[in-house]
Amino acid sequence: MRMATKPGQSNGYDVAENGLRYLIVRPEKGGLGDLFRYAVTGNVVSGLTFLESSDDGVLDEEAPDYRWVIIVSIIVRKIIAVIGKPMEWVGYLVDFVLNLLSLNGNLVGLLYKILHGKVVLPRRGTETFISTIGQLDGRIDLYKGESLARDIGGSVFAEGAGVEVEMEMGNRALMDLCIMASKLAYENAKVVNNIVVHHWKMHFVNFYDCWNDFQKESSTQVFILCDKPKDANLILISFRGTEPFDADDWSTDFDYSWYEIPKLGKVHMGFLEALGLGNRTDTVTFQNKLLGSHGESNSDDAIRSPSKGTKPLSRHTDSDMGQGGWDQPSTSEGEHQPAMVEMTAYYAVRSKLKSLLKEHKNAKFVVTGHSLGGALAILFPTMLVLHEERELMQKLLGVYTFGQPRIGNKQLGKIMEAQLNSPIPRYFRVVYCNDLVPRLPYDDKTFLYHHFGVCLYYDSFYVEQKVKEEPNKNFFGLRNALAMHVNAVWELVRSFIMGYVYGPEYEEGWFNILARLIGLALPGISAHCPTDYVNSVRLGRERSLQMSSF
């Protein structure tokens, strides 16, 4: 029998018999010979060495029909596994060098300070240590400046202000806050607190660094802010996205593994693990956390640390920032136990959100994120729907994602569109030009993953169109290769003239230009940078002409 043995079965729990279905792609399980036979000859037996599933039916369906997308997933993730450590080392070096230069007045200033023995060394985790993403795009101020809260409050929250019209159009001030918060999520807690409080004049609530079962470390980062400390109108939740030199983040984006939630649909397994909603090494945990009492199991397995109690699974900076300790939610009304709240991003954020909405009676909340953070941003309300959190969903103002990968199948999309786009659209998926990540995982008329919701697509002239799907939706292929590389040349040229055309705040520095040079070879990677998403929101203009990917 080809069905993989599941840890849950050893405890007398038969996953397949209980109707739970999943597929896990494990690149480490097979060799290059197996991959060659599966790719070239279509040998299904060789392909099965890489696959683990709930039942033979899944294997018989997936292995032949989805062969090429599985092969791509395996090859890319094998490459990422090989270069993972070098990527990490390069990332540390790049972070150090960029911060060393910025703290010492760039190259000339650094040379001067070396000669005078006054070099300032960067210290990771401090208020002055900026991420690679932050170095690519140094803008920190909101486009509307200190009037943002008034702009949002006046157009979205005030009585009789035409909320339906504003949300349908996509509130620009709110979109700008969301992309800037998505970019800010890449920073450490002290940087986030400083910018939110001193530059945005808003109220910093929490920063969480939670356990990710896919990456086996506390790597799911998310922060929460309010537009003001009392009687807030807006609560914003921002998830951190794919870090440029984090191999595990990229491996998550290229993972094809899925878990099927009854009556909801198939969901990307890596994203579920990033929210702390299951563990592929013991697939029964998905059942416990997703479907038990609205996902709130009191079993020992649910509240025990994945690392068997050897280290804390999440931390935040409440004590550092003068915000008090963790929320200790009441166990009445089925509220989840504190141990689970500390363990996972989903439960930590949901618990804090409930307490904030009780404190701020008129507030609504927005969820946002870039890249992987965008996937988690839309998955968060998806789980609220699954757990029948109707009161929370009524308070959801919108979800704005930027460069977000696909999270599930068509069934999931149809259900969530009914929840988020009726009576008015509340989910906006922003895609810039040739960005690779929104084209992942692969999708066509036979494959599994599909986008849903309103897509705001911006070409390389920052012209916006509302579409169902971005052009060249799967990225790979020779037909669009030439156009993408020509477009990358234009983006490089554009980087030299942005400051002259649009003003000093759009001027691109040497590090950004270097990223554009890399884009000549890998246009889909350079197009993923938040810089173009900030520009799209601030410079974007609509048109009704035929769309192109250029």
CATH at residue 419: 3.40.50.1820
Whether 448 is in a domain gets the answer yes
Whole-number Å distance between alpha carbons of 281 and 303? 17
Q: What is the DSSP string of 89-145?
A: HHHHHHHHHHHHHHHTTHHHHHHHHHHTT-PPPP-TTSTT---HHHHH----S-TTG
Q: How many residues does the chain have?
A: 550
Nearest to 296 by CA among 329, 263, 262: 329
Report the share of the chain in percent with pLDDT over 90: 49
d(CA 392, CA 364): 9
Out of 268, 370, 451, 528, the active site residue is 528
pLDDT tens digit string along 60-116? 777 777 778 888 888 989 999 899 889 989 999 999 999 999 999 988 999 999 998
Q: Tens digit of pLDDT for each residue in 171-182?
A: 788 999 999 999
Q: Where is 168: in which H helix or E strand?
A: helix 163-169
Residue 251 lies in a domain: yes
Supply 66's token pair.
């989805």
Pick from 374, 372, 364: which is nearest to 396 by CA? 364
Residue 22 lies in a domain: no
Render pLDDT for 357-396 as a digit per residue (tens, 0 to 9): 999 999 999 999 999 999 999 999 999 999 999 999 999 9
- Give the model's pLDDT for residue 381: 97
Q: What percent of the chain has pLDDT over 70?
A: 79
- Report pLDDT for 549: 40
What are the pLDDT digits (tens) for 491-503?
A: 999 999 999 999 9
Q: Which of 137, 209, 249, 435 is labelled catalytic?
A: 435
Position 381 in a domain: yes
Position 205 in a domain: yes
Torsion angle of alpha carbons 487, 488, 489, 495, nearest 10°? 110
State the CB neighbour count (10 A cutoff) for residue 159.
Answer: 5
Residue 505: Cβ within 10 Å count: 14
Instruction: Tell me the two tokens of residue 99.
Output: 């911060």
The per-residue pLDDT string of the chain (550 residues; one tens digit each, 9 = 90 and over) reads: 333 434 333 333 344 445 578 989 999 888 888 888 888 888 888 888 888 888 877 777 777 777 788 888 889 899 998 998 899 899 999 999 999 999 999 889 999 999 988 999 999 999 999 999 999 999 999 976 444 545 555 544 443 333 333 444 457 889 999 999 999 999 999 999 999 999 999 999 999 998 887 777 778 899 999 999 999 999 999 999 988 888 888 888 888 899 999 889 999 999 999 999 988 988 888 888 887 654 443 333 332 333 333 333 333 343 333 333 333 333 333 343 334 444 689 999 999 999 999 999 999 999 999 999 999 999 999 999 999 999 999 999 999 999 999 999 999 999 999 999 877 889 999 999 999 999 888 776 656 789 998 899 999 999 999 988 888 887 766 677 888 999 999 999 999 999 999 999 999 999 999 999 998 988 888 899 999 999 999 998 865 444 344 4
Q: Distance from first CA to last CA of the chain, Å, rounded?
A: 50
Is there a domain that residue 52 lies in? no
Domain total of the chain: 1
Angle of helix 345-359 relative to helix 372-386, nearest 10 degrees, comes to: 70
Per-residue tokens: 204? 């910093």
Residue showing tokens 């890489």: 50
Strand ranges of the sheet holding 364-370, from the earlier edge strand across to the other edge: 315-316, 203-212, 217-226, 234-239, 364-370, 396-402, 427-432, 454-458, 463-467, 541-542
* 3-class secondary structure, 533: helix
pLDDT, residue 535, reads 96
C-beta of residue 353 within 8 angstroms of C-beta of residue 312: no
55: in domain: no
Tell me what pLDDT residue 445 has: 61
379 by DSSP, 3-state: which? helix
User: Is there a catalytic annotation at residue 371?
Assistant: yes
Facing residues of 21 across strands?
260
Rounded CA-CA distance 195/186 in Å is 13
Q: Is residue 462 a part of any domain in this protein? A: yes
Q: What is the pLDDT of residue 543?
A: 56
User: Can you give the pTM of this predicted structure?
Assistant: 0.85
Q: Does residue 86 have a cis bond before it (omega within 30 degrees)?
A: no
Catalytic residue among 155, 251, 371, 495: 371
Contact 421, 456 (CB under 8 A): no
Q: Which domain holds residue 404?
A: 140-157+169-290+341-478
